[in-house]
Homo-oligomer: A and B are copies of this chain.
Amino acid sequence: MRFTVADQNNANDSQLFTNLGEALNTEDLNRAAAQLQASHPPAIANTLESFPWERRLQIWQLLAPQMKGAVLIELHEEVQDGLIAESTPDELIKSVAGLDIDELADLYERLPEKVRTVVLQTMDERRRQRFEAVRRYPDNTAGGLMDVDAIAVRGDATLDAVLRYLRRTRRQQGELPEHMDAVIVVDRASQYLGILSLSDLVSLEENRVVSEIMNTKINPIPAMTPAKKVARLFEDYDLLSAPVVDENGKLIGRITVDDVVDVIREEAEHTLMSKAGLEEESDMFAPIISSAKRRAIWLGVNLVNAFIAAWVIGQFENSIKQLVALAVLMPIVASMGGIAGTQTLTLVIRGIALDQVGPNNIGRVLRKELGVISINALLFALTAAAIAMIWYQNINLGLVFASALTINLLNGAMAGTIIPFALHKLGIDPALAGGVVLMATTDVLGFFTFLGLATFFLL
C-alpha cells in the first residue's frame, strides 16, 4: 500500500501527538478520529509509540480497518504484537487485506493461527504463489527482502514493443509495481540477462533493440545473500533496485532501495540498543514487567562481574586496612582502563562491520592501538600520579598508581582489539557482548594490578 507525502511540513509528528493527546484528554473522539484520518501511517505509527498503552488502544480503535494494516507494518515488532493481541481475528483479517505481498510476509508470522488460515484461504492463486515465493527465504536475506512483482521483458524486443507492453499491463492491472526504475531483461527460460532502465527507455529511439541497450554489468543478487551485504551493495553502487535470482540464475524478484533503507536503519538501531543490552527492547512504553525482565539479564551479568571484581578487591583487604588510600584510588584505575578499552573496542567493531579488520591486519591494528594508548598512558599516568602524590604526600604510592594505570590502559587497548575479534570468530555479535566482556577484564585486572603492586611494593 502506498501513501504520499501530504502536509509533511505542516502537520509533523509532534503536532499530531499534541492534537491527538488534547482530543483524547477531552474525550472528543470525533476530533481524534478526524486528526487520524488526515494523517499518514508513518506519522500515526510514530505518534502511537509516543503514547502509553491505554492511549494506544484508544487510537487503535479509532483507525479505519484498512489504515490499521498500514500503521501496523510501520510499528516496532513489540508494539505490533501488543496491538495484534488486542484485536479480534475479524479486525485483523480486514486490516491486512490491502497489504502488499512483502508487507504481509513480514507480518504473517506474528498473526494468530486463525487469522493466517483465513488470510491464506482468501488469497487468489496468483497472490498466494507470490506470497509463498517470498516466504521461502529467511527475512534477513535478499529473498526475504525482495518484491516478486518485477516486470521482465525479452532481449530481442524493441523499445517500442516494451512501451506497448507496459501500457497494456497498466490498462489490464490498473497499476505497475511500486518504485519501478527499470525493467529486467530475461531469456526464454527466465534466466537473467540485464537491466533496462526507464531512463534509457524514455530517452533512446523507439526502434532500438533492448539487448543492445541493456546494462549487463549489474550482477543479479542471489536470493540467499545476507541483507547486510545487500545493503552494502546498494550503498556502494548507488542502486535504486536490483534483480534477485534463485540458485539457477532464474529471475525471481527485485529489491528496491526503500527496503534497503529499512535494513540500514534497523542495523543502526540494533547497534545502538545492543550496546546497552537492550537488543529486544523497542517499545518505550512496553509493560513494566517485561521491560524489567529483559533488562534484568544485563544487570545480572554486571552483578556477577562486579562481584568477581569485588572478590579480587577482597583478596587485598589487609593491604587496604593498612593504606586506605588504595580504596580511594582503585576505582580510577579500573575506569580509565574501561574507557580506553571502549574506544578501541568501538573502532574495531566498526572495522569488522565494514570488512576492514580481519586476520590479515589485526596485528597492525593492535600495534596501532597500543601505540595510541602508550602516548595517552604516559600523559594520564603521570598526571594522575602527580595528583595522588600531592594528595597523599607519598611518592611510592604515586609510582605504584602510575604503573597500575599504565598497565590497565594497555590492557584496555589489547582487550578492546582482541575481544571483538574473538567474539566475531565465535559467531557472537561483538556489538552485543563486547562491552560486558571488556569491562569485566578492565575491572578485574585494574583492581588486581593496583592492589597487587601496592601490596608488593608499599607494604
Q: Which residues of A contact B (CB under 8 A)?
A: 2-9, 12-14, 17-18, 21, 40, 42-43, 46, 49-52, 74, 162-163, 166-167, 169-170, 176, 178-181, 198-199, 201-205, 215, 217-219, 222, 233-240, 242, 257-258, 260-262, 264-265, 267-269, 271-273, 275-278, 281, 284-285, 288-289, 291-292, 295-296, 298-300, 302-303, 305-307, 309-310, 313-314, 317, 320-321, 324-332, 334-336, 339-340, 342-343, 345-347, 349-351, 354-358, 360-361, 364-365, 368, 371-373, 375-376, 379-380, 383-384, 387, 391, 439, 443, 447
Chain B minimum-CB-distance residue to A334:
B331
CB-based contact A368/B329 at 8 Å: no
A-B contact pairs, 16 of them (CB 8 A): A4-B237, A18-B360, A42-B235, A179-B181, A198-B201, A261-B264, A276-B342, A295-B376, A302-B339, A303-B336, A303-B384, A305-B335, A306-B335, A309-B332, A317-B325, A320-B327
Contact of A296 (CB < 8 Å), options: B9, B50, B376: B376
Determine how close the nearest CB of chain B comes to the CB of A139; give it in whole angstroms: 18
A332 and B310 in contact, given A181-B240, A264-B268 (Cβ under 8 angstroms): yes
Chain A at the B interface: SS class:
helix
Q: Which residues of B contact A447 (CB under 8 A)?
A: 331
Q: How far is the CA of A389 from the CA of B168 in the complex (A)?
A: 81
Contact of A46 (CB < 8 Å), options: B291, B335, B354: B354
CB-based contact A347/B261 at 8 Å: no
CB-based contact B375/A336 at 8 Å: no
